[in-house]
Amino acid sequence: MLFICATDDRYLSTLHSVAYRQWSNRVDLAYKLLLACALLWVLILGHRLVFYTNSNGYCAAQDGPYALFDTYLEAVLSGVFSPLLVIVLACLLIRSVQNVMQRRVVPTGVIPTEPKANQSHSQQANSQLLLMLLLQSLIAIIAYVPYGAAVIYFNITAQWSKSSVRQAWEL
């Protein structure tokens, strides 16, 4: 979630509209967003406080349709929604930075002394941002997607008869 907030802040700071740029780099807004994120997660996952039970020393969803709902909700939120949101925001940020680079004001009538040096510096900054966002997206995919896939797999195969070897392998 913090990756998403950081990427969103960077995206807002590169937009053309002054109204949107005013929303970036504000510490008071960051605190409010952290509180809002915490409240959002309590609203989304607060049902677990009521519908989870202690079973053999582990917290687990109550049997029945709720267990299935809870598992798929977690798989979709963590395995699909989070990486997708990180990737979409990274693509938006890259496009916005490229638009900023194209909008740069160049004074007329002034002969640039070192145009390649300035261009090289901005291209280097752009490539570093691109690398950072690609790594962030890759980490999000590596961290979230396998967990979501495993949760879905275990739900689908939960009622299948399995040998003891397969059960040991799946643990």
Task: Compute the distance between CA of residue 52 and CA of residue 66 in angstroms, rounded to an integer.
Answer: 10
Residue 171 lies in a domain: no
**pTM of the predicted protein model:** 0.66
CA distances from 137 to 1, 37, 67 (A): 13, 20, 30
Residue 118 lies in a domain: no
Residue 39 confidence (pLDDT) above 90:
yes
Average pLDDT, the chain: 80
Provide the pLDDT for residue 29.
82
Number of domains forming the structure of the chain: 1
Q: What is the pLDDT of residues 82-119, one digit of tens each?
A: 888 888 888 888 888 778 777 666 666 666 555 555 55
Domain range enclosing 72: 2-102+124-160
